[in-house]
Structure 1
Amino acid sequence: MHNTDTPPMSPGIDDELDEEDMVYVGDVDEVIDALENEEPMEDEDPEVDDSITVFDRHQKSVFCGSLTRDGKLAATGGEDDMAYVWDTTSGEMIHECTGHKDSIIFAEFNKDDTYLATGDMSGLIQVWKMSDKSVVWDFEIGDAAWLRWHKQANVLFAGSVAGEIYMWKIPTGECKIFQGNGQKTETAVVCADGQRLIAGYEDGAIRVMDLKEGTIHTTILPNIAHSAPTTDLDCQFDSKLIVSAATDGKTVLSTVATGKVVGVLQHLQENKQASTEEGTSQESKTDDWIEAVAFCKDPELHFVATGTLSGEIFIWDVSKQVVRHKITQEGGVSKLVWKGTSPILFSAGLDGVLRCYDARTAQLLQSFSGHRQDILDIFISGDGSKILTTSDDSTARIFDISAY
């Protein structure tokens, strides 16, 4: 009697079977079809990874990161409430920054790599002395929106969800506070001259702070430049112009000295509303905005780059306020960074791809693959040899960009 619990014998390798003689019963043919369909997958190439180092210690999204000037060490922070310092060549962890109890939104070395500041969304800030990995200063400000190091001094800034902006000397902790108006401070940048800080707010206001005097130098009121939360802003290399973007779809140029609006480079939602009225599909037309802005630091090239969530990058001639190039990439843009004072622009893609462009020609020089989800932050080492990327895929990666 046949034992129904015994699996059918597989054909031996030496048995030659004529396909016409084979009899298919029930669902056997479907199983064989499925197996046949799977065979080509074995021959497919593995996914491309152009990175030279992968750091996979984080358990959730990696929100932020930075590199030392020589590119030898990286610091990253993430949604897992952890920040790490690690070797960019081996990926080996050097130090674990403990003590945070919320997502890390800032992990960055100071001007000479002697300190590392880490900050989380709950407002806990810690400054670590790199020589012995000890905490030399810490503070809590309540819910935090952003942190920044001064570019020429051991001074740390933080913006709160409540609207205040703090400025501390490190490691003494001597503090100045710029009072808010009840509106969340969304982002900020320190001017190249080191004398002023520019902040953008939830209501669209922009304020310029005099750091020496500890006062508000200039205010651009809501509805003058923007009428919605600021997404990004930057200051020109000579500290004369501000470029700002907001969720109202506008990209605006204004002056640092007086706050005068000198031009609206683009108004995406207004333009798309007009297109809709002319018969273009309305779907996803009115929710696009500039997510990232960045002035080129080359004094000979008066460029500013802007990038949208839908994947459009615009290279503007600031002096003429006209578009020189428009680039369309497959993934949306989360961040734009120029390499030093060169015309080389790096774009962090929401499709997990890092792209490198020559802004003079709009030529795509290289695409760097490796991430499986959105790239959230990018940082170029001071010597220009490496770029750090952090991602929703729980990894941080190092790419060699010395060729550019």
Structure 2
Amino acid sequence: MDARHLETENVILEDEEMILEDEVTQEYELGDVPEDDDDDMEVDDAEADVTAEIVDDARSVFRGHTGPVYAISIHPLDKNIVLSGGGDDVGLIWSMEDNSIKHVLKGHTDSVVAVGFSFDGVLAATGGYDGIVKIWNVQTGALLHTLDGPSQEIEWIKWHSKGNVVLAGSGDGTAWMWLAATGECMHVFAGHEDSVTCGSFSGSGKMIVTGSSDCTVRLWNPKTGECSFVFRGQEFHEGPICNVICHPKQPVMISCSQDGTARLLHIQNKRQLAAFSHAVNEASSGTVAEDDSMAVNSVECAGFCNTLNWCATADLGGELRIWDLASYQCRHICRHEAGVIKLMWHPTEPFVYTCTVDGMIHVWDARNGQLQRSLSGHSEMILDMDLIVRNGFLTELVTASDDETVRIFGLN
């Protein structure tokens, strides 16, 4: 890796609480798994084709891409405008009203895997596996700036919530921050020893957090570019970091890892508050097996409830777990038939929306852990998801998939 390394002392984190299986309140299954029967007759090809048919619950399907659709973003003001990026090396700005393409954002030489609108919706950013971030004028589709610097692929991009500042992480172990209006590089955040797989501005916008395949989470000062703290060590993650989620109002965050755990971290106090385990037993909790047997428990996503003091985490084994942040205990386990890629909380109600590797969307009631609704339509893995709120009400759910489509589901 072409990364510079900043030496810091190993941090031994205190006051950690590991949540174990016997502290789970309830478990719920999604469907019943049929028992194997050696005497069952094989299903013929014709019957298999009928079984494989997918009911499409989407009210609309966008087919503008000619490759997998890796990322989507909804315009902050005009909820009909969508930005998407795909394996066809382009970004598209299009309208959900009639699925018409407004602008084709060309210039990347590899897959566009990260997209986002600025806080005011004037600018758009696209990030690609070519290691380039591009800034576009949303109204005209004109390319304003090409932001180069990273030597390897862009893993993610995030806009500041109150300014035209864009942050991106790279496979080369660095994160970059640019002033989008001018294209000026403000800081390069160097110190990770492996790919910077995830990152974000804190809820206040005054700190930057990054997670890496090097099993660490770092806190950065966006004004100076200096690393202020590193979460790592014997009592921290022992596997690559998959995701970091910052609370929108409180100075806390959740880190997700392939080691089968998520960690609740206090940004200001630089302390680990709790460890939320997805491991099948205490002995394997927080570790990564050499034969990748723990990969099924890789915690891919997390989110904070908007109305109650709860959070949720989900893994590739298909478990969604609801946690009480007052007691750090698991309230419910909601089981899927396939791995969970992303979760989002309803903006005003205690419901969780999940999307999975088998192309399904599920809606769960976090109060009792019960499945409320399932939506189908995609024929392959869902890669991204976003919710649309109009006049204070959640009206649609938008999903991007490996099947080269974006689907819009109505939520009445």
Please, what TM-score do these two structures have when normalized by structure 1? Answer: 0.82
Instruction: Say whether residues 1:297 and 2:297 are aligned partners.
Output: no
List per-residue Cα deviations over 1:235-294 (Å, max 9, x = no partner). 2233322211211112211210132122212151654749xxxxxxx9956642211111
Residues 104 and 119 of structure 1 are in contact (CA less than 8 Å); yes or no, is this contact kept in structure 2? Answer: yes
Within the candidate set 230, 240, 251, 2:251 is matched to 240
- Counterpart CA distance in 1 for 2:181 and 2:91 is 20
CA drift at 1:377? 0.5
2:64 alignment partner AA: R
SS across alignment from 1:268: coil
Partners of 1:316 and 1:295 lie apart in 2 by 10
> Which amino acid counterpart does residue 288 of structure 1 have in structure 2?
N
SS at match of 1:99: coil
CA offsets, 1:44-99, max 9 Å, x none?
99632111221112222111111113420111111121211111121121111111
- Which whole-Å CA distance do the structure 1 matches of 2:160 and 2:49 have between them? 52
Q: Which among 216, 222, 235 is matched to residue 211 of structure 1?
A: 222
8 Å Cα contact 1:231-1:246 kept in structure 2: yes
Name which of 266, 272, 278 aligns with 1:255.
266
Q: 1:101 to 1:267 in 2, by over 3 A?
A: same
Q: Tell me which of 71, 93, 100 is aligned to 1:92.
A: 100
Of 162, 174, 177, the residue aligned with 1:152 is 162
Query: What is residue 409 of structure 2 aligned with on the other side?
Result: 399
What amino acid is the match of 1:316?
A: W
Residue number in structure 1 paired with 2:137: 129
CA RMSD of aligned residues (A): 2.5
> CA separation in 2, counterparts of 1:54 and 1:374?
16
Q: Structure 1 residues 211, 43: CA separation in 2 closer, same or farther (over 3 Å shift)?
A: closer
* Superposition map of 1:1-400 within 5 A: 47-69=54-76, 70-140=78-148, 141-143=150-152, 144-174=154-184, 175-266=186-277, 268=279, 270-271=281-282, 273=284, 284=293, 287-298=296-307, 301-383=308-390, 384-400=394-410
Instruction: Compute the displacement of 1:161 (Å).
Output: 1.5
C-alpha distance in 2 between matches for 1:96 and 1:63: 16
Say which is worse superposed, 202-211 or 173-182, in terms of deviation.
173-182
Gaps of 5+ in 1: 1-35, 275-281
Q: Distance in 1 between matches of 2:406 and 2:330?
A: 33
1:388 to 1:217, Cα distance in 2 relative to 1, 3 A? same
2:221 partner amino acid:
D
Q: How far apart, in 1, do the equivalents of 2:408 and 2:316 lie?
A: 24
Deviation of residue 133 (structure 1)? 1.3
Shift of 1:209: 1.5
Cα 1:46–1:191, aligned 2, differ >3 Å: closer, same or farther? same
For residues 266 and 157 of structure 1, the distance between their equivalents in structure 2, rounded to whole angstroms, comes to 30
For 1:357 and 1:75, the matched residues in 2 are separated by: 27
Unaligned stretches of 5+ residues in structure 2: 1-43, 286-290
CA distance in 1, matches of 2:218, 2:303: 18
Aligned residues: 357
Hey, what's the Cα distance between the residues in 1 that align with 2:66 and 2:233?
40
Larger radius of gyration: 1
Quick check: 1:288–1:309 contact (8 Å CA) kept in 2?
yes
Amino acid at match of 1:142: S
Partner Cα distance (1:251, 1:313) in 2: 12
1:3 paired residue number? none
Aligned match of 1:28: none
Confirm or deny: 8 A CA contact 1:218 1:256 kept in the other structure.
Answer: no
Question: Is the CA contact 1:204–1:222 (under 8 Å) kept in the aligned structure 2?
Answer: no
Alignment correspondent of 1:10:
none
Distance 2:107 2:387 in 1: 27
* Matches of 1:244 and 1:41, distance apart in 2: 41
Amino acid at match of 1:237: P
Q: C-alpha separation between the residues in 1 aligned to 2:56 and 2:226? A: 48
Which one-letter code corresponds to 1:191 in the other structure?
A: S
TM (norm. structure 2) is 0.80
- What's the secondary structure of 2:297's corresponding residue? coil
Residue pair 1:250, 1:265 contacting (<8 A) in 2 also: yes
Higher relative contact order (CA 8 A, sep 6+): 2
- Residue 143 of structure 2 aligns to a residue whose secondary structure is strand
**CA distance 1:337–1:54, change in 2 (3 Å):** same
